[in-house]
Amino acid sequence: MRHKPLSEQVIVIAGASSGIGLATVRMAAERGARLVLAARSGDVLAGVANAIEAEGGRAIHVIADVGRREDVQAIADKAIAAFGGFDTWVNVAGLTVYGPLREIPYEDHERLIQTNLWGTINGSLTAVEHLRKRGGALINVGSVACDLAFPFQGLYATSKHAVKGFTDTLRMELIAEGAPVSVTLIKPASIDTPLPQRARNYMDREPSLPPPIYPPREVANAILHAAVHPQRDIFVGGGGKLFVMGKEFAPGAYDELAPAIIALQKRAEAPREPEGALHSPRNAGQVRGDPPIYVMRTSAYTRATLHPVATTLGLLGIAAVVGALAMRRSPGERQLDQERLAAARLQ
């Protein structure tokens, strides 16, 4: 399945006011897409939409809590009223809570599941009702936590496991009915966003993300790639993929990493804003956070999975160049290489 070029698409981004969502908004605007921005922080969305319009783009914004089905339906209705419909719907809204499961109040658990899981369900089912008539892409942003557990972010991992199960089931049902809708699950590793600063925090330290950490533009690029060239799953960050593979190979050994994983989620300083944005919007409008450790510049693994044919051809080209250079060596030089190789084997 292949979809319209981005410059011809209307894209809905639910969770557009910070982090990955805001990075995706800006990249999509650069590539000519018309945009529908949705989140709880209306003032931030209005500023972003106005900036896009001032640069010659098209964008509207909708204040919405994705945990409420009626709010999500309002996003779709306004997209249809403004642009006649939409081609891609991205569910990226998400929050987290740091702390031991037994110390987190029920209302925090409930609110996190309402946003991360029900927000994805509400957005997906609403989007598909429109897309099954005209075709398009549904893109759900999960996490490596779809496949891994993280102590002290237990309900976050729970919600992302559930997002994976829901997304996979919905994809299968759409295939069974022959609907012209692609469904992609994006699985980012640790990404340099304000997620820790906006989290509800029950730890005695400021929260952080375990390394390696990747820039949000890598996730935005994967999302927009899937809007045109659908893929079933996309891991963003080779480090995350390695952890998932290791856990599948030796789950017991992964469990024993719990103390190290907990330590890696704590910074040295005391908590700054432990209330976070779980129950009310705050600290929106920023794409990146302030991690105390190095952030990778890119993910070669992810770029390769997005363009596997080009990557393979590139490797073949390198091999051909190396072979040609080797053939240009004189017979004497090649004879000397063979003698050195033979001598090395005898040692």
pLDDT in tens, the chain (347 residues): 789 999 999 999 999 999 999 999 999 999 999 999 999 999 999 999 999 999 999 999 999 999 999 999 999 999 999 999 999 999 999 999 999 999 999 999 999 999 999 999 999 999 999 999 999 999 999 999 999 999 999 999 999 999 999 999 999 999 999 999 999 999 999 999 999 999 999 999 999 999 999 999 999 999 999 999 999 999 999 999 999 999 999 999 999 999 999 999 999 999 999 999 999 999 999 999 999 999 999 999 999 999 875 444 343 343 343 344 444 555 555 565 555 545 444 44
State which fold the 6-306 domain adopts.
Rossmann fold (3.40.50)
The residues carrying an active-site annotation are: 156
Q: What is the distance, to the nearest Å, from the Cα of residue 165 to the centroid of all Cα atoms in its chain?
A: 17
What integer pLDDT is reported at residue 2 of this predicted model? Answer: 85
CA distance 60 to 214: 29
In total, the chain counts a number of residues equal to 347
- What is the three-class DSSP state of 139? strand
CA distance 136 to 158: 28
Q: What is the 8-class DSSP label of residue 102?
A: G
Element (H, E) at 326: helix 308-327
CA distance 156 to 164: 13
What integer pLDDT is reported at residue 217 of this predicted model? Answer: 98
- pTM of the predicted protein model: 0.89
Q: Beta partners for 213? A: 190, 295
- Angle at which helices 119-134 and 154-177 pack, to 10 degrees? 20
172-to-85, 102, 176 alpha-carbon distances in Å: 24, 36, 6
